[in-house]
């Protein structure tokens, strides 16, 4: 069976396992099998059945976006890897999304 390497923050949803064996003959089938085994991963990998924009799938050093995407064929010897694209940025305060409480009454730690 092919294997998928899970990024560190999402291993909380695979009972700590870093590599998961998956069934399937394409990347899409393998990811489908992965979220069947570990359903809590789905929200963080997919949005409306499409891979989230910051989720990259690599086979070895190759990004599947430059192959056949989710239709890329795989075999049992393949090692897939989920790699998040880390990104951030600021925008006007009125558009900021947070509900947490800042550390009230304390000076910014330095």
Q: Which of 64, 60, 80 is nearest to 72 (CA)?
A: 64
Q: Which of 22, 13, 36 is nearest to 81 (CA)?
A: 22
Contact between 105 and another protein by CB under 8 A: the answer reads no
Cα dihedral across residues 7, 78, 14, 63: positive or negative: positive
Number of residues counted as binding another protein (CB under 8 A): 37
What mask of x and - would describe binding to another protein in positions 9 to 38, judged by CB under 8 A?
Answer: xx-x-----x--------------------
Would you say 25 or 40 has its CB closer to another protein?
40
Contact between 93 and another protein by CB under 8 A: the answer reads yes
Cα dihedral across residues 52, 53, 55, 56: positive or negative: positive
Residue ranges that bind another protein, judged by CB under 8 A: 7-10, 12, 18, 40, 43-44, 53-54, 56, 58, 63, 81, 83-91, 93, 95-103, 108-110
């Amino acid at each position: 069976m092919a294997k998928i390497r899970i990024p560190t923050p999402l291993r909380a949803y695979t009972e700590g396992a870093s590599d998961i064996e998956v069934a399937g003959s394409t990347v899409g089938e393998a990811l489908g099998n992965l979220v069947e085994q570990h359903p809590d991963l789905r929200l963080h990998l997919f949005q409306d059945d499409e891979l989230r924009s910051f989720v990259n799938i690599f086979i070895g050093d190759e990004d599947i976006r430059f192959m056949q995407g989710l239709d890329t064929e795989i075999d049992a010897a393949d090692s897939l890897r989920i790699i998040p694209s880390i990104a951030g940025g600021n925008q006007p305060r009125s558009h900021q999304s947070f509900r947490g409480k800042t550390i009230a009454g304390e000076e910014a730690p330095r």
